[in-house]
Amino acid sequence: MTHPLLEVEHLGYRYGDADAAAPPALDDISFRVDHGDFVAIVGPSGSGKTTLLRCIAGLGHPTWGEIRLGGHPVTDVPKELAIVFQDYSRSLFPWMRVRDNVDLPLRHMGLPAEERRQRIETALAEVGLSKAMDLFPWQLSGGMQQRVAIARAVAYRPEILLMDEPFASVDAQTRADLQDMAMAVWKAHDSTVLFVTHDIDESVYVANRVIVLSAPPTTVAAEVPVPLPRPRDQIDTKASPEFVALRAEVARLIRRRKADAVGGTSPAETAAITDDR
Amino acid sequence: MSVAGGDAATRPGVAGLGVWLGGVGLRLSVLIGMAVTWQLVTTLVDDPVNWPTFVDVIGRFWDSWASDPDAWLRSLAPSLGRLLAGWFGAVIVGVALGSLIGLSAVARHSVGPIIQFLRAIPPPALLPLFIVLLGIGDAMKVAMILFGAIWPVLLNTVDGVSSVEPLHRETGRVYRIGVRDELTRIVLPSAAPKIFAGLRMSLSIAVIMMVISEMVATVNGVGFELVQAQRSFRNLDVWATIVLLGIIGYVLNAMLAAVEGYVLGWHRGAMRTRS
């Protein structure tokens, strides 16, 4: 019997310092990610996207519900998984050269020296940083630093790659380049990506499927399949009627969920917000 | 520096010379100015026993220390041996203990007051106790140096280790790099700038403790020579030995600064980029 790669079931999370009567941050999240899939999670800011990702990575523990990776419950940091954090400057190690940053996770995998060297060079070549191997991260631009973080994850060869708002801190042009690069890496390695973002365009552009979260207490508002053909193109794909329709659908889902969440307390306020939008 | 930089900006033709003059030249001229002042004042005072001239002091320093390899072996070598043994001991124990304490919030809170109490004891006050416990040999002197020098290392290590960027450690956890690499490749390098600040402070304390411990019940060492010179009314030797101690402190500090510059090159670079 084969399991989906990642299963999240009825997951809920309440911050430790919040009292039990307060609504939880995450209420009831369920979804699956299959081998080879590229799934985006999109939700309004404050909807607990990062908390959700941290639980999947074993860095946080859900208050209720279960996460299974390859059929096994996640209790600690699973070895099949890598993360690219939003904040590359605090995730890369400034005292190590680019090469050593990529090498650190490989040191304990029992690889022969030659394969280690090859993995580092291949990964850095894939993100277009072969020439930066002997520089320090702080000698690179923000976009290049995030490429190093991606190369580090790629060289580790995880079964699933989690990306937490990976391109939120770079400028628009770099962001577009990095989106295309992430898709190329995913394709080249037949890997599985779970991509968290607050950018609706980005979620529709990169993913096979978009999971839309509600405002807190957060639930899955909808799952939207994205049947856009690949390879995708920043200009042509984004200009296609299908893309525009999907983007509108995701945007509507987020807006409706936001209005619903506020509507619980004051109908007048809901009207104001809906008009405003 | 800023003055030299301003000159360089207005007169680009002599930029290099201006910076050079502003740097080395300024320091050198202050040094020469002080020596000349010393020479003039002591010549005017004309009390060569209590206030020897600069030329006399440097002459004696040359005769008694700089040009006498025998004095190096007899006095300088034992002193430096004790100093380095005590200081390296303080560094090793301070970094090891500091890491253990810094990594555990419980340890920080429970051990914190004890550390503050021990640190508040003036180290020279422990001399009588250490003589009772360890005798008057090298063990006592090394212990004195270690006890005096350990606190800046220990406290700065605790501070550095406990303020490692959480995302750095989480990145290590996600990639399952193991406890040893987490300590040696993430925690300690990240704490290194603070640890080195502690090393510099502790080195100057170690020199002080070396001299103090050698001033009582000893048969050799620079501190011993200093007291001997004073007791036998060789005032010029007292001055010359003080010059030697200044040079020891200066050279050791310069050596440590060189090591720090090499180890923390990344830190200076990262700081420069940030600002």
Each residue's pLDDT tens digit, B148-185: 999 999 999 999 999 999 999 999 999 999 999 999 99
> Given an 8 Å threshold on Cβ–Cβ distance, is B167 in contact with A91?
yes
> Beta partners for A41?
A196, A211
Q: Is A151 in the B-facing interface, judged by CB distances under 8 Å?
A: no
Separation of alpha carbons B239 and B221, rounded Å = 16
B positions 142-181 inside 8 Å of A (CB): 165, 167-168, 170-178, 181
The partner residue sitting opposite B177, judged by closest CB among A82, A90, A105, is A105
> Given an 8 Å threshold on Cβ–Cβ distance, is A59 in contact with B170?
yes
3-state DSSP call for residue A81?
Answer: strand
Q: Say yes or no to pLDDT of B272 above 90.
A: no
The partner residue sitting opposite A94, judged by closest CB among B173, B174, B270, is B270
**Chain A residues whose beta carbon lies within 8 Å of the beta carbon of residue B174:** 57, 59, 77, 81-83
Which of B171, B182, B183, B272 has the highest number of chain A CBs within 10 A, making it the mutation to test binding with A?
Answer: B171
> Given an 8 Å threshold on Cβ–Cβ distance, is B174 in contact with A77?
yes
Q: Say yes or no to pLDDT of A216 above 90.
A: no
> Beta partners for A13?
A26
Q: Is B136 exposed, middle or buried (0-12, 13-18, 19+ CB in 10 A)?
A: middle
> Beta partners for A197?
A42
Separation of alpha carbons B213 and B242, rounded Å = 16
The partner residue sitting opposite B165, judged by closest CB among A57, A90, A152, is A90
pLDDT of residue B62: 93
Q: Which amino acid is at A110?
A: G
Condensed to tens digits (0 to 9), the pLDDT of residues A226-266 reads 999 999 999 999 999 999 999 999 999 988 766 665 554 44
How big is the A-B interface in CB pairs under 8 Å? 65
Place of tokens 């890598």: A82
Q: Is A142 in the B-facing interface, judged by CB distances under 8 Å?
A: no
Give percent of chain A with pLDDT exceeding 70.
90
Q: Which amino acid is at A165?
A: E
Q: How confident is the model at residue A35 (pLDDT cuts 50, 70, 90)?
A: very high
A positions 152-171 inside 8 Å of B (CB): 152, 156
Q: Say yes or no to pLDDT of B257 above 90.
A: yes
The closest of A138, A111, A149 to B174, measured between CA atoms, is A149
ipTM, 2 decimals?
A: 0.87
Q: Is B267 in the A-facing interface, judged by CB distances under 8 Å?
A: yes
Q: Is B268 in the A-facing interface, judged by CB distances under 8 Å?
A: no
The partner residue sitting opposite B189, judged by closest CB among A95, A108, A136, is A95
Higher pLDDT, B116 or B12: B116
Q: Quote the Cα angle for A105-A148-A162, to 5°.
A: 65
Q: Is B240 within 8 Å of B64 (Cβ atoms)?
A: yes
pLDDT of residue B19: 75
Q: Which of A21-30, A146-155, B131-140 has the lowest mean pLDDT?
A: A21-30
Condensed to tens digits (0 to 9), the pLDDT of residues B51-85 reads 999 999 999 999 989 888 888 889 999 999 999 99
For residue A53, the distance in angstroms to the closest alpha carbon of chain B comes to: 12
Separation of alpha carbons B267 and B192, rounded Å = 9
Chain A residue with CA closest to B171: the answer is A91
The partner residue sitting opposite B168, judged by closest CB among A59, A81, A90, is A90
Distances (CA, A) of A66 to A28, A38, A185, A195, B202: 11, 21, 29, 20, 52
Condensed to tens digits (0 to 9), the pLDDT of residues A145-162 reads 999 999 999 999 999 999
Q: Say yes or no to pLDDT of B13 above 90.
A: no
Q: Say yes or no to pLDDT of B199 above 60.
A: yes
> Given an 8 Å threshold on Cβ–Cβ distance, is A156 in contact with B165?
no
Q: Say yes or no to pLDDT of B136 above 80.
A: yes
Separation of alpha carbons B34 and B157, rounded Å = 38
Output the average pLDDT for chain A: 88
For residue A217, the distance in angstroms to the closest alpha carbon of chain B comes to: 26
Q: Is B165 exposed, middle or buried (0-12, 13-18, 19+ CB in 10 A)?
A: middle
Condensed to tens digits (0 to 9), the pLDDT of residues A89-98 reads 899 999 999 9
Q: How confident is the model at residue B273 (pLDDT cuts 50, 70, 90)?
A: confident
Angle between helices B54-61 and B26-45 (to 10 degrees): 110
> Given an 8 Å threshold on Cβ–Cβ distance, is B181 in contact with A108?
yes
Separation of alpha carbons B72 and A246, rounded Å = 84
